[in-house]
Amino acid sequence: MPCLLFFKVEAAGKPCRQYTDRIVWARTVKLGTHTLMPSGGCLLFLKVKVVVAEYRLEPLELGPSNLIPDSSGRMPKMVLWRAPGTDVSGMVCRCEKVVTTSEKLLEGEVYHYHTKIVMKDPLVGGRQEWHQDYGYWYQNGLLYPDAMSVFVAIDRCNKANGCLQVLPGSHKVGRIEHRSLAGQTGADLERVEHLKKIFPLTYMEMEPGDALFFHSNVLHASDENNSPNRRWALIMAYIRKSNNPVESMTGPFPRYTPLEKVPNSAILDCTNVTDFSGKDFLDPSTDKTVKADTSN
């Protein structure tokens, strides 16, 4: 299976799937011709876009502790929750297409690790330093990199507003050393620069509703948003059931909990867009892998 699996919504509303990496993990899995979106194109995630934009799912509600400084001093905004909940965003991370695709890629039952919205506001949004997700999650007791993320564009993502950058194939080098970099956990930059000479730097320019599934050891980053346009993304993390973290090392993150799938139609059918009870929001000040700015 590829380390990167890209589901894209085409202009004509017909979905396509493309592999962005020639180096596979173990085998290619046939996922069919449907994407996360129903026949109405990207309406599924446009509904989520409306919800996060208009119904209080804003980081400011949780206070300034969700500001995680980058190396330049800018403050990327982030809100993270550890349980799906019953609102529309919970339906997204529990929907059959997302979960079943993740299970096929990780070759086993998965559980929800966390979901977050990363917000890069116009002209001020900060960067995400080069890292592997497993560089963070290893510190939380995961013994294996049998884990992945699903990045869904809420807004148009391009170079100008700080789209995701990846090094396809870099998961093959295994976990590399990570260290504290400003408020974030970043990969060894000297090693990253060498790996850029081997693996092609790819800018993942995406339209709203596009989804990228990627392995936890894929190196990725994103630049500041120096454009006048907002760049928000929904990122869901899944861990294979067999990769239950060491209990004494999990910190504020969950261990295995069965994930109840819902049909894809549950997203558009969901009427709960304001009740976020049960989502178990994370206070970043309790997370040892970041240093939140709480000065404001």
Closest of 156, 167, 231, 232 to residue 199, by C-alpha? 167
pLDDT tens profile 152-169: 888 899 999 999 999 988
At residue 70, the pLDDT reads: 56
| Contact assessment for residue 114 and residue 62, using Cβ atoms and an 8 Å cutoff | no
Question: Mean of the pLDDT values across residues 144-156?
Answer: 91
Query: What's the CA gap between 155 and 53, in Å, rounded?
Result: 11
At residue 78, the pLDDT reads: 79
Tokens in use for 171? 């998961």
Q: Is the pTM of this model over 0.75?
A: yes
pLDDT tens profile 249-266: 988 889 999 999 999 888
Query: What's the CA gap between 53 and 40, in Å, rounded?
Result: 21
At residue 14, the pLDDT reads: 38
Tokens in use for 97? 């297409």
Query: What's the CA gap between 21 and 30, in Å, rounded?
Result: 16
pLDDT tens profile 28-63: 333 333 344 443 344 555 566 665 555 444 443 433
Cα torsion angle, 175, 177, 180, 186, sign: negative
At residue 6, the pLDDT reads: 53
